[in-house]
Structures are given as structure tokens and as C-alpha cells.
Chain A
């Protein structure tokens, strides 16, 4: 193939060309505008970079081919029916192009997210190395602030949020008996925005002045005055956020319109309920963080003074807009995990979920309450004081629906036949550790206590109990649970158990002492600390390195098992939900016969009960590609 043809076909060469064109455009337009206004210097590196950070990703995405179908359709040209011929993956190369198969996208999402888990985890190791003893050893203050900021941003925006979207992408259409997501091309675009956001975050380390270093919260006005690296965050978040919103819309439409015959809302598996609730949160809340970062971008790039008090700016407004997203984001990072745990506990305890309807309703209650509590992050911010007590009450009340879930899971275990394999161990680990995170959460709702511990290591302990002991444990549970379905292989159970126990113990040794040093008075986000905290910090650092090593067991297990694990049967767990009723991995359009749902998803122990039956006409899974001109209109 000639070079010109390579550059015209969708793919990485064209994506590279797209970036070059975008950078050239940014250079041209900023220079032109600065020349017209007579601003000196005419060529300003910071201005060019800011525009290039926005334009470059579009050049990349267009070059990669994420928009090809829509562009053709929009200008009336014959479309390429890539949704059929390009569906599915035959070689590993198919994971590196725009693919519309939800199963391919699910794996793209999951693997990419785990890559960022390792990157973010590595940063945590560097942070703990620096904190192992008082004084400055490995990095300077600027690099330290940069590391913890990128650590949090990467793990929140590029690991926890997208990995849940990835797992759900794979199993949710299968669970509701659908052949794919409602909007497969939008799904592909959603995925490809993630590596873009991640690349921006990591590239910030090469910016003059270092990476963004104002925390993942990027509070103004610090973020407004920060060096250029901050713009990489400001813009990167927009792509991660757009990806989240598009996926959430996709889930909502898929769940509402594409359920198999007979699958009423109250016959849906709880994972589907959980992602329905999460998607509602994402669609409503995510635009707010986009707005908060646009404010910062406009302040930085164009001097809008949104947050510059002497010019009438309002510093507290940033925090209100930011937390109106970022508190619901906590539930965005937790509710899908609740769904995973419900699936695993029912199957592994061989019992129906206790109080199914209350489990579903409590998810919706959390969604509603989740929007009424954001200012509890601002109890010491200097905002109007009367709002604190109402926000304390709503915050504490969220413990009620969450408690309903915990107690219902416990009741599900009771009298079951517990299969204590790796997914189940992680699920039980989640139950206990998340309870601890929830309890410290209720403590933090209590205003006077929060006044003392806010911005201390108590907060660090709390969020890691919720996001590591909570979210990450559910993610590990889910990855082990669906590994046979996604890869067609069984994982190594012995290594899985090793992974669980080392992680569980080292996790507690790392984060439990942080409660203590936080109350004792050690502030968070400090590169150096006073001598009195030295002992615990050394202990914490050592324990954190064990957490790091334990993750390598997981990576080794996944890689080894994927390459050469035992072939997985269709339904190794004797589960009832639909994804286990098809081969592992499933056929290209998921179901050779459309299932009909005739009962609940968790009828374990009920004699003769089934969730879905396969009857009626066989669906042609090897359908001929539809005629190009008659392909369904763009999505």
C-alpha cells in the first residue's frame, strides 16, 4: 500500500497526521489572533499548547476513524457497513482500532483502565517512598504535589469510573438479552476518548513547570495561577467526562429499549439496576465538572476572572460546582460495584438476593440523596454556615439505603452454600471493608468532627477504604467472576486466593493507621511532616509496597490464564443470568436464539426455576453485511 493510501485509511498513521494538522492549526490560529490584537510575543508557546490540547485529540479521533461513518452519512456518501464486517475481534490487532462490538469495547475499556491502575499505583509507590521518613528524599515539593494530583486523577477518571463502564459494557447487553449496545459507534467513540484523556494527564509531566499539582480537586484560584501542566488536566477531564456521559446515555437507552422479551424492570439482574442508577447520576452530574473546568480554562487562557476576587470573582463557586459533580461521582464509583457484589453473592451463596426490590429501590434512593449532600465537602470552606446542618442530615441519611444493601447482602449469605473462591473472597472483603468506609463516612458527616479532621489523613483513610476497600475490591471480584466469560479461560484459583489475602492484609495495614495519624493532626497533601508521625508513616509505606507487589500477582495471573488457562465452560458458576447461558466467550452477536425471560434472575434453590429460556427462531448470527446504502441511519 502506498504511503498516501495508508494516510487516507482510518488508523494510527492517519491519527498521527490528524494530530499534526491540529497542532499546525493551533499554531496558526493563536499566532494570527495574537498578531491581530498586537499582543506580544506573537508566538506564545502556552497559548499554542492550550489550543493544541483541545484540537489535537479531535485530530487523533478523526484520524483514527471514530467519526468516519457519521461524516459519510452526513454528506450523503455511501457508508461503510463496518458495524457488521468489522464487528468482533479475530486477532489482537482488532483491539487497536475503532471497533463497534460491545464485547471488544468492554475488553478495550477494562484493559486500558487496568493499565492506568498500574500507572496510578506506581505513582502511589513513589509517594509512599517519599513519605517513608520525614524530610525530602526522592522528589521535590513540586514533583510530590504533581504525583499525588496525577495519582488521584488517573485512578478516578481513568480507572474506577471507566473500568466499571468496561465491565458493564461487556456483560450488560448479555444480561438483558441484547445483541449489542443501543449505539455501537458512540460506544466506540466513548472508549477512544479515554486513552486521549489519560495521555493528556501523563503528558503533563513533560510540561514546563511540571505536571498539574493542585490535587484532583484543582481548587481555584491555585489552579488558575498554576503552571501550564494544569491545562492538561483541565482539558483532559473534558474528554474523560464526555466519554462518561456518552456511555451513560448508551446504557440508559440500551436498558430501557433493548431488554429481551419478558424481562421487566423487576426481572433485571441488580447489576443492570446498578448501571441504570449510575448512568442517571453520570448524565445529570458530569456536565458540572465539565463546567467547573471550563471556568478554570477560561480564567487561565482568556483572563475571565471567574475566580479572581478583586475583579468580582467568587472562589467558593468553584467548589460548589465542582462538588455538585464530585460528590455524586463517589456513587458513580460505587453503585456499579454494588451491582457486581449482588451478582456474585447470589451465585456464590446459592440463594436468591434477599429483598430484591429494596435492593433496587435503595439504589434509586442513593441517586436522589446523592444530589443533596455536596456541600459536606465544604464544611470548613467558609461558605454560608446555615447550610451545614441540612447537608449533615442528608449525608448521614444516605447510610440508611446503604445499610439496607449491606444487611440484605448479609441475609443473602445466611443459610446459603458458600463457595469461597476468589470472586467470593473479594466480595466478602468488600462487605467488611466498605462497612468501615461507610462508618467513617457517617463520622465525617458530623460537622464538628469534620472540622477537626477535614484535610487530614483521616480523609485519605476514608476515601481509600471507600474506593480501594470498596470499589477496587468489587472490581477485582467482578474481573475474576467474568474472566471465564470474557476470555474463554479459567483463571488460576490458587494465585487468586494469594492475591486476595496479600491485598486484604496489606491494604488494612496501609490505610487503617491513617485514621489515627489524621486525627492526631497530620494534614494531607504534604511532602514533609513533623517527626511525631514518622513511625506510622514508615509502617504505612512498607505496607503499601506489599499492596503494590500483591497487584503483580493479579497481573501475572490474568496474563498467564488468558494465554494458557484451562478452557472455560459456558457456565462454570452455575449462574442463572443470561450471560452464562451462552458460550464463553459468547458468539459474535451474543445469542443464536433470542432468549425469553420467564422469571427472576436469582431463583437459586427454587425447584425447576429458570431465568431465561431459548426458544423460537434461530437468529442468523453470521448475517451478511447489510447493503451499504440501506444501513441503519447514523446513531
Chain B
């Protein structure tokens, strides 16, 4: 049975390690956590196999056979040596794991060697949207408030997270780190992205009706692309409108604004393929609305609330987070798409 147990443990460990548990690893911290998990699997499988093997072994060897109905087992009351072993051995394994985990934690949270070069980016959580603030140290001018999160690869970034209403939790599964956004506190953690790509930002703490659609994206890009993006975002607005007239707005650009800002998470809009169920169906409620009314609906959502929906559900700060031209484009697009 010992042989069976050893073989089963070995197979179990191979099986456990061969499963692709984690999402694509995209940060230094996630790599360390994945290694920790592998160690935990290696330590856990033999214990589980031990219990299962003894249970199955006992069932096979000691199950009651015909004629044994009135028999009892031998009156064994205990064995001090065994009891000492199964107290001491697990204690040592557990303390060892704790020391290792504490070391991983320390590594994951420690400041980078070149701490002066660390990016510090503000994250604001609110029902049900994320906005990011690039401070003036990064932009070189006014702070940039945006719904897009773009990070350069290979550079440590500290997120400084605040909440405007209830608890949220800022999590990029591919980065592995997370922390709650707590009203009244600034919470923080740091990651070093190490893989190019676009990854989901997820709210991990139940925050109300739209919790499951409180999503955003993070793009990890080469440093030059990051610099170019930052420069483009902080340039005067007229440079960013691509061909549209700034005042009237460009419906084609507006479609992109609609997508970038997660409007479809909460609203139905057939033209954009959006199927959100939190807020009113835009195809219905905006039908025939004037551009001014649509603009008010976006920047001051509590002014007029569609029948059957409550107040304070839609973020009230799109007037601040969207640039004037983006807002104009979005209004133009919504008017066109729902007419």
C-alpha cells in the first residue's frame, strides 16, 4: 500500500502541475505567486493521497465479510509515537510553508531598486467604473484623468486606489495582485508588468447591481509606445479629434468612445452590439432625443431617470472623465445610432 501511495502521489503531483491553472502570467509578482502555488500543490497532493489511500485500503482490507457480523476489531486505544509524529510532522511542513510564503509576500511588495523610476498611478473606483489618474509627475503638465490604463513593460508601478462610494477591489488576474478600494482610505500595491498585451481589469469585491460588469482593460506596451500614448492624451484636445469637427462631434469616433468607456456593460445598444442589462435600453430611451438631452443624460444621469431604474447607479462623472470632443462624438454617435 505504501507503494501504491507513493505512485499515486507522484502521479497526482504530475497531474496537478500539468494543469494550466493560472491565466497568462503578465507580471513579476504573478510569476512568484505561481511558483508558490506549485510548491503548495507538491506539498498537498501526498497528504490527500495518504488519506484517500488509507480510506480505500481500509475499505478493501477490513470491510465486514459474511460471518463477521458480530465481530469487533482489536481494542487499540492509541499509540503515542504515532500521535507525536502526526502532530510534529505537519507542524514542520506548515511552518516551512509559512516562512516561504512570507518571503514571497515580502518580495512581491518590496519597492523596486530604482524606486525613483516607479510609476505612481491613481485608481478611482465607483459604481460601476474605473478611472485612472496619471499625476503631473508623469504627464509633465496637468494630471490626466482617463478611463484607459496603459502601462510600460518592465517598470514597477504602484497603484493608489480610492473609492468614491462602496467597497470595490482592483484586480488584474494576469498580474495576480489585488486590494480593496475602501471609502476613506487610499490602499496601494505594486506590480511590474513583464508581458505585452491587453488584460482585463476586474472588480473582485461585490459592489452592487453592476458588479459583474465593472470591467476595464489594461494595456501593457513598450516604453516608447507608452510615452507616445501619454503625449497624445495630454496634448491639446484639437490634436486628438481625428478628422471630425470638434463642435458637432464625429459619430464614428463616438462609437469608439462608447466601446472604450464600457457603456455596453450596462446598456443595450444594437448598433454597438451592446447587451448590458443594468441600465435602460438605449435603443428605446434615446429614440428621438435631442443632442442636448443625450448630453445631459451622460453628464448628469440623475437629472432624468428612465422608468423602472434607480438613482445613483450610473457614474455621474463622465462629464469630467471624457474630453469635450469625446463627449461631443459620443453624443453624435448615440443620436445617430438610436434615430
Contacts and interface: CB of A to CB of B under 8 A. Distances in A.
Nearest to A316: B182
B58 A414 contact: yes
Contacts of B74: 351, 415, 605
A449 B36 contact: yes
Contacts of B75: 351-352, 603-606, 609
Interface residues of A, number: 91
B101 A411 contact: no
A413 interface: yes
Contact of B52 (A316, A404, A420, A432): A432
A352 B76 CA distance: 7
Contacts of A454: 178, 204
Interface in B89-140: 90-91, 94-95, 97-98, 101-102, 104-105, 108-109
A358 B169 CA distance: 42
B90 A420 contact: no
Interface in B9-36: 19, 21-23, 29-30, 32-33, 36
B307 interface: no
A428 interface: yes
Interface residues of B, number: 84
A365 to B, nearest CB: 10
A414 B54 contact: yes
Interface stretch (A27-35, A243-251, A281-289, A392-400): A392-400
Contacts of A239: none
A43 interface: no
B331 interface: no
B229 interface: no
Nearest to B99: A393
Interface in A372-396: 380-382, 385, 388-389, 392-393, 396
A45 interface: no
B208 interface: yes
A443 B184 contact: no
Given A404-B87, A449-B33, A521-B23, A393 B52 contact: no
Interface in B168-211: 169, 171, 173-174, 176-180, 182-185, 187, 200, 202-211
A221 B180 CA distance: 13
A496 to B, nearest CB: 17
Interface string B35-59: 0110010001001100110110011
B51 A431 contact: yes
B78 interface: yes
Interface in A440-456: 442-443, 445-449, 451-452, 454-456
Given A222-B206, A417-B71, A454-B178, A525 B211 contact: yes
A459 B73 CA distance: 40
A80 B310 CA distance: 54
A463 B182 CA distance: 25
A303 interface: no
A403 interface: yes
Contacts of B68: 417
B21 A451 contact: no
B33 A141 contact: no
B180 A382 contact: yes
Contacts of A400: 87, 90-91, 94
Contacts of A525: 206, 211-212
Interface stretch (A13-21, A306-314, A580-588, A621-629): A306-314
Nearest to A452: B176
B169 A448 contact: no
B37 A417 contact: no
Nearest to A354: B78
Given A417-B72, A431-B55, A446-B97, A314 B173 contact: no
B72 A358 contact: no
B5 to A, nearest CB: 12
B169 A526 contact: no
Contacts of A603: 75
Contacts of B177: 451-452
Contacts of A452: 30, 33, 173, 176-178
Contact of B212 (A349, A355, A411, A526): A526
A527 interface: yes
A226 B63 CA distance: 55
Contacts of B182: 315-316, 381-382
Interface in B54-70: 54-55, 58-59, 62-64, 68, 70
A520 B33 contact: no
Given A400-B90, A417-B73, A455-B205, A358 B104 contact: no
A519 B183 contact: no
A451 B33 contact: yes
A348 B102 CA distance: 43
A352 B77 contact: yes
A413 B55 contact: yes
Contacts of A219: 166-167, 205-206
Contacts of A315: 167, 182-185
18 contacts: A209-B310, A219-B205, A221-B167, A315-B182, A315-B185, A352-B75, A354-B76, A392-B102, A407-B86, A418-B63, A420-B64, A435-B52, A442-B40, A448-B32, A448-B36, A449-B36, A521-B174, A521-B202
Interface of B: 19, 21-23, 29-30, 32-33, 36-37, 40, 44, 47-48, 51-52, 54-55, 58-59, 62-64, 68, 70-79, 82-83, 86-87, 90-91, 94-95, 97-98, 101-102, 104-105, 108-109, 165-167, 169, 171, 173-174, 176-180, 182-185, 187, 200, 202-213, 275, 277-278, 310
Interface of A: 135-136, 140-142, 145, 209, 213-215, 219, 221-222, 225, 309-310, 313-316, 349-352, 354-358, 380-382, 385, 388-389, 392-393, 396-397, 399-400, 403-404, 406-408, 410-411, 413-420, 428, 431-432, 435-436, 439, 442-443, 445-449, 451-452, 454-456, 516, 519-521, 523, 525-530, 574, 603-606, 609
Given A222-B166, A442-B97, 13 more contacts: A141-B211, A145-B206, A209-B310, A399-B94, A400-B90, A410-B51, A417-B71, A442-B40, A443-B40, A448-B36, A525-B211, A526-B211, A605-B73
